[in-house]
Amino acid sequence: MIKTSIITVNYNQPLVTVEFLKSVVANTNQNETEVILVDNGCDEDHSQLFKSIYPQLKYVSSPINLGFAGGNNLGVKIASGTFLLFLNNDTEITPDLLDVLTSELDSNIEIGIVSPLIAYFDDPKIIQYAGFTPMNYLTCRNEGIGNMVENVGQYDKESRETAYCHGAAMMCRRDDLSSVGLMEESYFLYYEELDWCEKFKKAGKKIWFTGKAVVFHKESISVGKESPIKTYFMTRNRMLFIRRNTDLLTTILFSLYYVPFVSAINITSYLLRGRIDLAKQVLAGVFWNFQNKKDSGVLGFKIK
C-alpha cells in the first residue's frame, strides 16, 4: 500500500532534480512511497537519467510549461498515496520527514495542510520558514516567522497553527482535495500555495507548521532573486490573490494603495537603476488584472 505520494516538478533543471531524487532515495521507505516527477515543458527529455536514480519513478511529461500549480495538479491526478507531499525539486529532505508530517495529520483531523521547518541548503543553520503571520488584506503583506534567524533548536518540538504553508514543502490528505480542490492554475507562479491555504481554511481546515522535521531549500535556483518573470508574476499575483480572496470593498481599497503608490514606486526605482525590463513587467502585471476581470487558467507562459 502506498502511504505517501511525493510530487515534484522539474523545469529544465535536470542536475538539481537528480540531487533531489538521491535525497528521496536515501531518506524514504520505497515500499510505502511513490515519487511522481512532472517534467514541465522541458527542452529535453531526461526521463532515463531520472529513472537511473529512482527506477520506480512515475514520470509525467507535459509538452508545455503549466506553471507550479499546473505541474503539481498534473501529478495529483496520478497519485495513489493516502498523503500527498509536494516538494520543490530544489529541496533535499531528512530521514524523519515523512513520518513526522503524516503523524501530524493523523493526530488531528482538523489539520488540512502542514509544512515542516525549512532551512537554507547553503547555510543549514539559517531558517527560511517556521510559519507565516496572517495576511493584511489591505496591503497583501504578511511576515515569515523565523526567517533569516539562526536555528538553535527553538522550533524542534513545536507544532502549531499558522497562517500559510510554504510551497517548497507541504503535505495534505488526498481525500481532503474532494472538498478543497486543486491549486488554482491561473497564478502560474507565486501565491498559488497561499491561495490554496485560503481554500483549506474555507473548507474548515487548519494550516499547520511543525518544527519536528526539516527540509533544506536551495532558494533562488529556480527563477533568481530579480528577474523579469519573477517581477511580472509577483506584481500580477499579489493583485490576483486579493481579488480572489477578499470582498469587493477590500479589493478596491487594496487597488487604491497598490496601483498608484506601490507599483509606481517600484517602476520609478527600476527606471532609476536602468532596469527598463523590470519596469515593463510591473506595468504588465498590473494591466493583466484589469484585462482579466475573471481570472482563468493559464496554459503556458514565455517572457518576450
Query: What is the residue-wise DSSP string for 264-275?
Result: HHHHHHHHHTT-
Is the pLDDT score of 75 beyond 80?
yes
CB atoms within 10 A of CB 43: 8
Q: What percent of the chain has pLDDT over 90?
A: 89
Q: How confident is the model at residue 282 (pLDDT cuts 50, 70, 90)?
A: very high
Distance from C-alpha of 97 to C-alpha of 115, rounded to nearest angstrom? 10
Higher local confidence (pLDDT), 224 or 182: 182
pLDDT bracket for residue 2 (50, 70, 90): confident
Residue 295: its pLDDT value, please? Answer: 58
Confidence of residue 226 (pLDDT cuts 50, 70, 90): confident
Question: What is the DSSP secondary structure assignment for residue 186, as one 8-state letter?
Answer: G
Residue 304: per-residue pLDDT = 27
Domain ranges of the chain: 4-217, 228-291
Sorting pLDDT into bands at 50, 70 and 90, what band is 220? low
What's the confidence (pLDDT) of residue 303? 30
pLDDT band at 302 (very low <50, low <70, confident <90, very high): very low
Architecture of domain 4-217: Alpha-Beta Complex (3.90)
Going by C-alpha positions, the residue among 206, 175, 203, 185 that lies closest to residue 79 is: 175
**pLDDT number for residue 276:** 97
| Helix runs in the chain, H state only | 14-27, 47-53, 67-76, 97-107, 177-180, 192-202, 228-245, 248-257, 264-272, 276-291
Rounded average pLDDT over 205-218: 98
Chain centroid, CA 225 distance in Å: 16
Q: 505541474: which residue's cell?
A: 71
Instruction: Kindly calculate the radius of gyration of the chain based on its CA atoms and give it in whole angstroms.
Output: 19
When pLDDT is cut at 50, 70 and 90, the band that residue 224 belongs to is low
Q: What is the mean pLDDT of the chain?
A: 93
More confident residue, 295 or 4: 4
CB 255: neighbour CB atoms within 10 A? 17
Number of neighbouring beta carbons within 10 Å of residue 203: 14
Q: Which residue has the higher pLDDT, 287 or 300?
A: 287
What percentage of the chain has pLDDT greater than the value 70?
Answer: 95
Average pLDDT over residues 19-27: 97
Question: What is the DSSP pairing of strand 111-120 with strand 206-217?
Answer: parallel
pLDDT of residue 263: 97
Q: Is the pLDDT of residue 96 over 70?
A: yes
The residue among 31 and 208 whose pLDDT is bigger is 208
- Residue 28, SS3? coil
Q: Using the predicted structure, report yes or no on whether residue 284 has a pLDDT greater than 90.
A: yes
* CB-CB contact of 41 with 119 (8 Å): no
Does the structure show a pLDDT above 70 at 90? yes
Q: Please name the amino acid found at residue 257.
A: Y
| 259 confidence band (pLDDT: 50, 70, 90) | very high
Mean pLDDT of 209-232: 83
- Pick from 37, 196, 216: which is nearest to 117 by CA? 216
Nearest CA-CA partner of 182 in 195, 170, 169, 191 = 195
User: Above 60 in pLDDT, residue 300?
Assistant: no
